[in-house]
Every structure is written in C-alpha cells, then in structure tokens.
Amino acid sequence: MNGQFGTETRKNGMAITSMVMGIIGWVLALIMLCINFVLVPAATAITVGWGAFLYICTCIPIAIPPIFWIIGLVTGYVGRNQINESGSAGMGMAKAGIIMAYVGLGLGLLSTCVIVILLITGASLPFLEGIPGLESLQY
C-alpha cells in the first residue's frame, strides 16, 4: 500500500508541447476561417470592395497555423521516442499532437491544391473578384 501513494509519473515535456502546439494551430486556423468567411464578406459589402484588400491581408496570418502544426509534429515524434526509451507517461498526448498536426497539414494542403486547380482551370472565385491584376486569371 505504501508504494501506491506518493509515486508520481512525470509526463514527457515534448508530448505536452506537441499536443499544445496542435491545439493552438487549430484554434488559430478556426479563427482565421471565421474571419475570412464571416467578417471579410460583411466588410466587402459594407465598404463596397475594400474587403478584397482585407482578404489579402488576412491570407498572410493563414500561414501561421501550419508552423504550429509542424512544431507539434516534430515534438510529437521526439516525445514518442523519448517515452519509448524512458517509459515516462504522455504517449496519448504525443499521439494527439501528431494526429492534429497531420490532419491540419493535410487539410491545408488539400485546400491549397483545390484553389490552385480552380485558378488554373479559370473557375470563378467570388472572393477574388475586384482585386486588380487578377482579371487575367478568370475567364
């Protein structure tokens, strides 16, 4: 009975970092999606076209969540290897960080490919209308 209480298993710091980076990446991605699909169209309607400029400005922060996902992926694999070697706790957090990172990066890559294909085929993208210099990309 004496051995059951007071013993503490330390959680792996890399596994915790992996999970936290995955969560931060997803929170930032969802905030950017809300801004791009809710606030920017409203601003475009209110400001009669200046929302397109706002959309371009919000495309830059969209590159931030993949940075967190890449950090989460690397720290997840390092944490998983450390847990396998030392036997410390935190394997579930490392796996959660790895899964969140792969899903985020995969969906980001998929959406980028879809947008590039739509631009190459000349499909009309309503959020790009009114931006000077992009008229040649649309038919």
pLDDT digits (tens, 9 = 90+) for 53-106: 666 776 777 788 999 999 999 999 999 999 999 888 889 999 999 999 999 999
Establish if 46 belongs to a structural domain: yes
Establish if 4 belongs to a structural domain: no
Report yes or no on whether pTM surpasses 0.75: no
Establish if 136 belongs to a structural domain: no
Residue 2: pLDDT above 60?
A: no
Residue whose C-alpha is closest to residue 33's, from 58, 1, 66, 5: 58
What is the Cα–Cα distance from 14 to 19, expressed in whole angstroms? 9
Establish if 1 belongs to a structural domain: no
Instruction: Give 34's contacts (C-beta < 8 A, 6+ positions apart).
Output: none
Establish if 96 belongs to a structural domain: yes
Alpha carbons within 13 angstroms on the beta-carbon side of residue 57 total: 9
pLDDT the model gives residue 135: 52
Q: State percent of the chain over pLDDT 90.
A: 33
Q: What's the domain range around 22?
A: 13-105
Our count of domains for the chain comes to 1
3-class DSSP state of 120: helix
Mean pLDDT of 22-47: 79
Establish if 74 belongs to a structural domain: yes
pLDDT the model gives residue 76: 94
